[in-house]
Structure 1
């Protein structure tokens, strides 16, 4: 495999290398950008319901219009091509494709996504498609949602239909995005749809999301055997705040209930003992082989969940110091490692991403890895010259992309990096207050303005790819070196 040192572009670490076929991309999610929530036969999703409830989002914001990408996708893809982005990770709206979560696909939804995916290919952009990015059809929520086992089977059926209808238009497919957030932020912390605060719902939701992944993988194996399929997990980097035994145990606990609960079943075929110690009272067991018909983990579940995929998606944002809570049985405390300059208060510590990639590769899987999301928010604005200057984001991207290249140089098989996000969008419970985009969106006019970071990313991609291609070109006898 041909690699090239990132010194070809002086902004990146001299220790970073990238393979010639490395996927440089950006990412978005359907509910965050599409809008048009009542058009094209789309059904209601849990995010439509949640965001319209008072007090659930900043300023009462919702995704009814968002970036109006449903109507502006051609211009958005044109801009992506102009910015030299070779790959695009997008998600399909389940409620647009299958409004009630059951039955045949909606022809208007299929037509929209076929045109979108064909539009990517026509512009030389390689699509990476996510089947589920948190927009469960409300009809399925009304029937129990992710805490109900049958929802996993509905997702498997939906995935099979998508494989038939759209599977010819993309090679790479991600089943579930961040089951941790869908399960716990939505069912335990109450900060995302459907907005519950009950671990007895969150733990079954987590297991059923993983089961849904395995069922979707099986459907693609049967219907599109050449497709490359994986799941994306968000993986935080955790370290004890001090060297005390209490803080070490607190870190182990937090790792068990945020990282390992999703990594172990997929890549090791069982739940870890530390995870069961935390959540066994909600029905979580190691393998489910001795389960009764009403138990959470059923015989055969872990075999479905851990069926071999083709790659592992890793989203990374957080680098945390964990400390023991006050008193016996208290939940651990955590804080972001400094410096934490983002408008979310998140860290800018690239070494954390490198550590996460090395951990996943050494402890969990030899599959190729993709960084399917990584990015940062700042208080971006349009200056009097009509420009959006974001040197802080450039600094962030430079560090984290360098960390990916350094992990590759250390032997980790990372095949791609997707910056979150292509453009500013509806940031879930934070509404339009947080801006992750490389492209600034003026929501009132829907004007798109590439930020300085978009041009930096364009130039970096071009420089590294150009140097890699040059390194791969053989020198013929007699030709100047």
Structure 2
């Protein structure tokens, strides 16, 4: 795929004057995708073993080296500072901090200690995510997210990390994208551990929510504030007429299961019709903990989903359809209206005036360095249109307080290996050289205004 001019007239990426003075613009990354997991005493994660098995990952690539952020973090933080960003959203690797899921690795904690200091030294606000999918293999051996113990161990881990760096982070998210941790990984099988099992899925869907609730409950008791969660949403729409029931089921599994349990202490009944018989015993007793109040909501948004009834398929008996809109390198439709719709919906139906942050929004493209530069006009237009949609959501009642582009760097894109490039900074995976793309320069221009 090559870059191509947009049919839309070119205009500024955005104007800071269109946003409140305290609105935060940032970029995001995740530990396993950039750090290099072979360094710093990190233990095996289930992504290491998933990538080493068969053809789970393109070219069987893993995160052993990734972008070598473990050694190049100062350079990467300088890219954020020089780009004029306000904040950096990063994650801590559970398998680095606790290689066996339980025992603390001091070298791992020390890395994040100096990273946070480096973020602050550059005038950036640290936004922490405690879990971005790097489950220690030792816990995976005991059932991973199918096992209630993992939720308890996660709360232990959260306490350890926050005791070390919690005094300096601005906002903390417990878990990134519980849908991916549970459904994508246990039902669809595209992410570690790569299962396709409805019983495993139901248990993972509950235990990941329980892990979030236990962590918030314990951290709140320890006096920490600004605690939240990062949920991924798709704007789910009907493929043709008469598909309301299909939309309802797909929305329940993709969106409502995760936000309703946190905001209202319930799971959608239409989802329980297919999942309840597979749920762990006594799950209803956990709902009060799962719905422990949060201080802010992180929203990740990339695309919409067009669905129809599919009686020939197992529950939830829906089928996804390719839409007609332009697509990213991932094959995802570019649909900025979905971001506006979901932000307004979250405020209206679930969180009211609670602060919302767009914690991820971005696109992959087959970027190349030509003449020392990367022209990524399609990405610039994508960012411009999604930030405009976010502004419309604010006008529609959403208390939106920040926008983080995904991702700062081209990185290890999970099952797609190093093939899909989301970054505003190009990474040469042979030399590890960093080259700011046109989108980075566009951000810098907008943020300097």
Task: Tell me what 1:251 maps to.
Answer: 247
**1:14-413 alignment to 2 at 5 Å?**
17-35=18-36, 37-103=37-103, 105-225=104-224, 227-244=225-242, 247-283=243-279, 295=281, 297-299=283-285, 301-325=286-310, 327=312, 331-366=317-352, 367-383=354-370, 385-413=371-399
Structure-1 separation of matches of 2:64 and 2:282:
36
Picking from 429, 448, 464, the partner of 2:415 is 429
Structure-2 separation of matches of 1:89 and 1:161:
19
Between 320-329 and 94-103, the greater mean CA deviation after superposition: 320-329
Q: Which SS does the other structure have where 1:459 is aligned?
A: helix
Give a deviation string over 1:144-190, Cα, whole Å, max 9, x none. 11111111000011111112111112121000000000101111111
Give a deviation string over 1:389-428, Cα, whole Å, max 9, x none. 0000001000000100111122210010000000100000
Check conservation: 1:23, 1:417, Cα contact below 8 A: yes
Structure-2 separation of matches of 1:219 and 1:341:
42
Residue 355 of structure 1 and its aligned partner are, at CA, apart by: 0.2
Structure-1 separation of matches of 2:233 and 2:93:
24
1:451 equivalenced with 2:424 (yes/no): no
- Structure 1 residues 65 and 356, CA, compared in 2 at 3 Å: closer, same or farther? same
Residue 329 of structure 1 and its aligned partner are, at CA, apart by: 5.7
- Paired residues in the alignment total 438
Structure-2 separation of matches of 1:145 and 1:328:
27
Check conservation: 2:29, 2:407, Cα contact below 8 A: yes
Check conservation: 2:12, 2:384, Cα contact below 8 A: yes
Structure 2, gaps ≥5 residues long? 1-9
Q: Which has the larger radius of gyration?
A: 1
Give a deviation string over 1:327-364, Cα, whole Å, max 9, x none. 48672112354323211111111111000101111111
- Structure 1 residues 273 and 146, CA, compared in 2 at 3 Å: closer, same or farther? same
Residue 197 of structure 1 and its aligned partner are, at CA, apart by: 0.9
Q: Which SS does the other structure have where 1:318 is aligned?
A: strand
Residue 219 of structure 1 and its aligned partner are, at CA, apart by: 2.0
Give a deviation string over 1:355-397, Cα, whole Å, max 9, x none. 01011111111211111001001110011x1111000000100
Structure-2 separation of matches of 1:320 and 1:13:
27
Structure-2 separation of matches of 1:265 and 1:453:
37
Between 388-397 and 328-337, the greater mean CA deviation after superposition: 328-337
Q: Which SS does the other structure have where 2:342 is aligned?
A: helix
Structure-1 separation of matches of 2:322 and 2:124:
35
Structure 1 vs Structure 2 CA RMSD: 1.8
Residue 461 of structure 1 and its aligned partner are, at CA, apart by: 2.1
Task: Tell me what 1:467 maps to.
Answer: none
Q: Which SS does the other structure have where 1:89 is aligned?
A: strand
Check conservation: 1:163, 1:219, Cα contact below 8 A: no
Q: Which SS does the other structure have where 1:317 is aligned?
A: strand
- Structure 1 residues 13 and 130, CA, compared in 2 at 3 Å: closer, same or farther? closer
- Structure 1 residues 191 and 243, CA, compared in 2 at 3 Å: closer, same or farther? same
Structure-2 separation of matches of 1:199 and 1:262:
17
Structure-2 separation of matches of 1:18 and 1:337:
32
Residue 206 of structure 1 and its aligned partner are, at CA, apart by: 1.0
Check conservation: 2:13, 2:381, Cα contact below 8 A: no
TM-score normalized with structure 1 length: 0.88
TM-score normalized with structure 2 length: 0.94
Structure 1, gaps ≥5 residues long? 1-8, 284-293, 464-481
